[in-house]
Copies of this chain bind each other. A is one copy, B any other.
Amino acid sequence: MEHGPQLSRPLTQHHPYVPGKQPEISDGTVKLNTNENPYPPSPQIKNAILDELESLRLYPNSSSNDLRAGIAKLHRLKASQVIVGNGSDDLLNLCTRCFSDEKLKVGMLEPSYSLYEVVASLQGSSLIRIPFDDDAFSITPKSIVDSGANLFFITSPHAPSGREYSMDCFRQILSEFQGLVVIDEAYADFAGQNALSLLDDYPNLIITRTMSKSYSLAGLRVGYALSSPEIISILDQAREVYNVDRLAQAAALASLNDRNYFEETLALIVKERRKFAMVLDEWGWKSCPSGANFIFTRPIDFKGESGPEVASDLYDYLSSRNVLTRYFPQHELTSSYVRISIGNSRDMDILLERIIEWKTQEQP
């Protein structure tokens, strides 16, 4: 590309997102690596999808109107406060597209969801990384307020730790920060609290949600954002007109409306999370209290040791025995931990068996 076409300036230094490895899975694989829901989606989606097949020749509703109305009703908001995306990644992308550029900076907590860096980079925006002090992953509001960012991403509950934050913390940020705050609530359905009630008071708040986790629809790509009508109308201008297809709109709405199924599967996951957390506590493994569908824990090996080598060893041990978890070696606050998605009871039994093997047997 030395002569001829030139790359856009952001692309000349862009580092694309690297998703968690998705190895080939077989019947025996226990897949606890990418925070997918162990239960299938609501059975109501089948008819919703079949009803749309003949209509697939026609363009979808360009504003996902029925789905937006359903989301608005669920959260007791106006439809003008809702925008639907092709996964919440689509919405995070729209946030940087609308509110960052080569001058307007993007902020994020480090470590958190690495996609924020990618969507900032695609805009050629400078990234302000606010490091956590320690593995409690506490937020100091002043560090965000004084960051100088025009747009700041906060994952809440935090990933990869699962930690929840208080609404007082967010109120302080939202009332003092001059920029927009995106609270990425991908995991909030699994938590004891969320930022929905702050929308009334703070027009500079955007909440993003995904149907990938709590609604078991990772394969369908539906996310949404909630904010003031003014902010939503701006995001809407940068949205691709037909960004959410007919099957996704129909299935997402059917899932959303099946509250019983949602509550039941959610309760099962929360129950497994509690059981697993108790076991880890008994073992003395340090874990963040989790408001998400995963647990971030610091393994202790048979010699009573912990640290990056121990965490990496457990991760490898489990992988080689077809139990997939996630390990983040790149950062000192994460490299002594593994992140384990909460599966169904069978998944968790197998996981525990394998961990017990690992922690009680001497390694070769």
Interface residues, chain A, with chain B CB atoms under 8 Å away = 1, 3-11, 14, 16-17, 19, 22, 31, 34, 36-41, 45-46, 49-50, 52-62, 86-87, 89-90, 93, 96-104, 122-124, 150-151, 178-180, 204, 212, 216-221, 230, 234, 236-238, 240-248, 251
Contact = CB atoms under 8 A, between A and B. Distances in A.
Contacts of A3: 178
Contacts of A60: 218-219, 221
Contacts of A37: 57
A4 B204 contact: yes
Contacts of A90: 240
Q: What number of copies of this chain does the assembly contain?
A: 2
Contacts of A39: 57
A220 B247 contact: yes
A41 B58 contact: no
A325 to B, nearest CB: 16
In the complex, the 7 A-B pairs of residues with the closest C-beta atoms, listed nearest first: A219-B246, A57-B216, A56-B219, A8-B101, A5-B180, A221-B245, A16-B237
A55 B242 contact: no
Given A5-B204, A6-B99, A101-B9, A14 B49 contact: no
A60 to B, nearest CB: 5
Contact of A57 (B41, B98, B241, B248): B41
B53 A103 contact: no
Nearest to A9: B101
8 contacts: A7-B98, A8-B101, A22-B62, A45-B56, A49-B247, A56-B219, A221-B245, A245-B245
Nearest to A16: B237
B240 A86 contact: yes
Contacts of A62: 19, 22
Nearest to A230: B1
A236 B50 CA distance: 32
A180 to B, nearest CB: 4
Nearest to A100: B8
Given A5-B179, A245-B219, A59 B36 contact: yes
Nearest to A50: B46
A220 B22 CA distance: 25
A100 B6 CA distance: 8
A238 B104 contact: no
Given A16-B237, A62-B22, A219-B59, A8 B98 contact: yes
A87 B242 contact: yes
B38 A57 contact: yes
A58 B218 contact: yes
A31 B59 CA distance: 12
B150 A5 contact: yes
Given A87-B240, A101-B124, 16 more contacts: A1-B230, A4-B178, A5-B178, A5-B180, A5-B204, A7-B98, A11-B98, A16-B238, A36-B59, A40-B56, A40-B57, A45-B53, A59-B212, A59-B219, A87-B242, A221-B244
Contacts of A10: 97, 101
